[in-house]
């Protein structure tokens, strides 16, 4: 299987590169450039295209508030170009999406893949939610993850980010353990599944609860305080989605992620080993 990965230099793209090893072809072309996309598809003739390109903002999504054109270019125009160019050639493709398009827990059941986005507090989330609504009308696999983490200490992972904050939010959220995500993505791709899939670990934890476990397992000297939702606007420019996703659709495919507590424990255990 030849897997062409756009956005291959990014955090998620590089994970896919490692996952597919010799089968992977890395590309850094502009996905909104239809001529360049067409040339890459003609040259490599991939069996699968993975779109891991997009603007997430550096150092965070606040960047997207001040760079709206670039954000639309990469998060909306680019995927539309892929839809057209892969569609013309009947190439199966996969789009990296986000669960940060919802707010709340949907009355306790979590948001399913069918629920319409209800969070538009950040420009980043608006672009991610909007493009999903178009792509979902076509045979594209759309993978929704939230606040990815592992025990690598990579600065892009959730726990490495939370470590740097003096105050941490205490609102339960869905999160995605990267090793579980990659296994689930591979299983779906091998089945040539299409449609939206929420890929989060079953259960919910707040960033504050995660850091309590970090303090218990990795660094007893780590100090932090609680940040309330009311305080959040004083430390960020764009709104932040806090939500719980429903992962029954994935489970019905026979794909189970580890429970959230187990995944966090495993990641923290790895961080502890690295710190020793
Ligand atoms: N990381 C997360 O927390 C998270 C959570 C949920 C969903 N996602 C989604 O996963 C995807 C990948 O995110 P990531 O965390 O891997 O971000 P990342 O590390 O910033 O990687 C994205 C890569 O795409 C490149 N890129 C941006 N615009 C492009 C374009 N028009 N054409 C080609 N490449 C382009 C970026 O280059 P530049 O750096 O030069 O812009 C970067 O190398 C995004 O769609 C994101 O929305 C990420």
Residue 54 Ramachandran class (φ > 0 left, ψ -120 to 50 alpha, else beta): left
Task: Determine the distance separating the centroid of ligand 1 and the alpha carbon of 96, expressed in angstroms.
Answer: 9
Tell me, using a 6 A CB cutoff, whether residue 72 lines ligand 1: no
Instruction: Quote the pLDDT of residue 88.
Output: 98
Quick one: pLDDT at residue 232? 84
Residue nearest to atom 27 of ligand 1 (CA): 54
Neighbour count for residue 208 (Cβ, 10 Å) = 18
CA distances from 42 to 16, 28, 123 (A): 21, 16, 34
* Secondary structure class of 122 (helix, strand, coil): coil
Task: Determine the average pLDDT of the residues in 45-56.
Answer: 98
Report the distance separating Cα 96 and Cα 118, nearest Å: 19
- Is the CB of 30 within 6 Å of ligand 1? yes
Q: How confident is the model at residue 48 (pLDDT cuts 50, 70, 90)?
A: very high
Per-residue tokens: 53: 């390109």
Is the shortest distance between the CB of 196 and ligand 1 below 6 Å? no
Portion of the chain with pLDDT greater than 90, in percent: 93
Supply the pTM of this predicted model.
0.97
Locate tokens 């791709």: which residue? Answer: 189
Per-residue pLDDT at 231 exceeds 90? no
pLDDT, residue 78, reads: 98
| Calpha distance 58→235 (Å, rounded) | 16
Q: Which CATH class is domain 3-275?
A: alpha beta
| Distance in angstroms between the alpha carbons of the first and the last residue of the chain | 40
DSSP designation for 138 = S
Q: Please, which pLDDT band fits residue 145 given cuts at 50, 70 and 90? A: very high
How far apart are alpha carbons 76 and 123 in whole angstroms?
Answer: 12
Q: What residues does 189 pair with on adjacent strands? A: none
Break the chain into its structural domains and give their ranges. 3-275
Please determine, for residue 207, whether its predicted confidence score (pLDDT) is greater than 90. yes
Q: What is the pLDDT of residue 83?
A: 98
Band (236; pLDDT cuts 50, 70, 90): confident
Q: What is the mean pLDDT of the chain?
A: 96
Composition of the chain by helix, strand, coil, percent to 5: 45, 15, 40
H/E stretch holding 35: helix 34-44
Give per-residue pLDDT as tens, 187-198: 999 999 999 999
DSSP-derived pairing of the beta strands 24-27 and 195-198: unpaired
Higher pLDDT, 234 or 197: 197
Model pLDDT, residue 122 = 96
Per-residue model confidence (pLDDT) at position 127: 98
CA 11 to centroid of ligand 1, rounded, Å: 7
How far is it between the farthest Cα atoms of the chain?
57
């Amino acid at each position: 299987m030849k897997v062409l990965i756009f956005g291959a230099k990014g955090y998620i793209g590089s994970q896919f590169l490692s996952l597919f090893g010799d089968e992977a072809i890395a590309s850094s072309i502009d996905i909104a450039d239809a001529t360049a996309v067409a040339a890459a598809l003609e040259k490599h003739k991939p069996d699968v295209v993975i779109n891991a390109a997009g603007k997430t903002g550096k150092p965070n999504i606040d960047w997207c508030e001040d760079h709206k054109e670039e954000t639309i270019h990469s998060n909306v125009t680019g995927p539309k170009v892929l839809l057209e160019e892969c569609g013309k050639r009947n190439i199966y493709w996969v789009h990296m999406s986000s669960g940060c398009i919802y707010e709340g827990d949907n009355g306790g059941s979590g948001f399913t893949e069918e629920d319409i986005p209800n969070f538009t507090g950040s420009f980043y989330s608006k672009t991610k939610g909007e493009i999903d609504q178009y792509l979902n009308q076509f045979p594209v696999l759309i993978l929704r993850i939230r606040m990815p983490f592992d025990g690598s200490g990579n600065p892009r992972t959730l726990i490495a980010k939370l470590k740097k904050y003096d105050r941490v939010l205490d609102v339960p959220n869905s999160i995605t353990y990267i090793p579980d995500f990659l296994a689930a993505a591979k299983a779906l791709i091998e089945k040539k599944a299409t449609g939206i899939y929420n890929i989060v670990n079953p259960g919910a934890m707040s960033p504050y609860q995660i850091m309590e476990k970090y303090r218990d397992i990795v660094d007893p000297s780590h100090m932090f305080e609680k940040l309330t939702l009311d305080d959040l606007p004083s430390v960020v420019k764009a709104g932040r989605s806090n939500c719980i996703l429903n992962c029954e659709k994935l489970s019905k495919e026979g794909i189970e992620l580890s429970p959230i507590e187990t995944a966090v424990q495993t990641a923290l255990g790895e961080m502890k080993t690295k710190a020793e």
